[in-house]
Structure 1
């Protein structure tokens, strides 16, 4: 196609159209959430709620108490008792009376800490579930640990207030045969409690259901 006597004008029009919104300065909305010091590291983390912080503290107390209790039984049963077998009966029985007396005094405190922190953990989780509008159902692992833990506490009560009293009376009367018999009974029940404690630790590490 030919175009005679026509002036072809090519006009380049550059439209620089900007939306009014793009001319506005960019702003970022920042939500200032309350912060708290983390109970373990003292660093600042977003507020997770009172129940969550309480759960962390109680769980730490619970775990440390169980580890000290079970670890003490493991040491006494597998290391201390065999090492003292070469001693004469009067020395061995009296030494075990003194060692167990100190250990049982600490375990009394640990039992209270385990019991109270366990109840607190259940309450804290129940509170978090209620706050989220959910229904709390205790996990199977928690049920197993609770039942075994109560059995351990009952067994320890028998050891501390019955068998250890028998051991102490035998030492005071210089009746080393009776003291040895009391130690034998304590050893059996400590072994039973140790087995339960190891099952509880396994349930903590490998949750059931």
Structure 2
């Protein structure tokens, strides 16, 4: 088999994996790119790690899938989630909160959580704040695989929208490498994405 044919086959398989991973993320609530890619590759019988697409390729396929199959529903859901994110960012203003993840980048699927990062002197300060505000929350175990895991992950519902709050040490704010937006940027994003009636 020629290397050009092999490269073309690998490219086609990467596209298939991207499309299937994107569908899983849009329809099944899978939020982890790596998990979606590996599961899609397994389902398609791909065994070579070189055939796995990049996160950017899967994100492009996800945007395409949502535009074709979920356009109106996705726009309305994204707008509602961004409205809820604005309220949560206002509430968490004392903790220098940022919106991150799929709600920020516009790829939030049906089962997505609003991802918020906050930077506090102590995660306990945020928990005490929640108790004083009568906000019920649950703890999730932070992944230790990341370079700088959060001190705590608190999960709660805000107007029936799930929110995942990652609380980091205040000094970590300058070192964060994720795409993120403060309240004013999210408000501008919201104004730009008003649903068409």
Structure with bigger helix share is: 1
Normalised to the residue count of structure 2, the TM-score between the two structures is: 0.27
Normalised to the residue count of structure 1, the TM-score between the two structures is: 0.26
In terms of Rg, which structure is larger?
1
Structure with bigger strand share is: 2
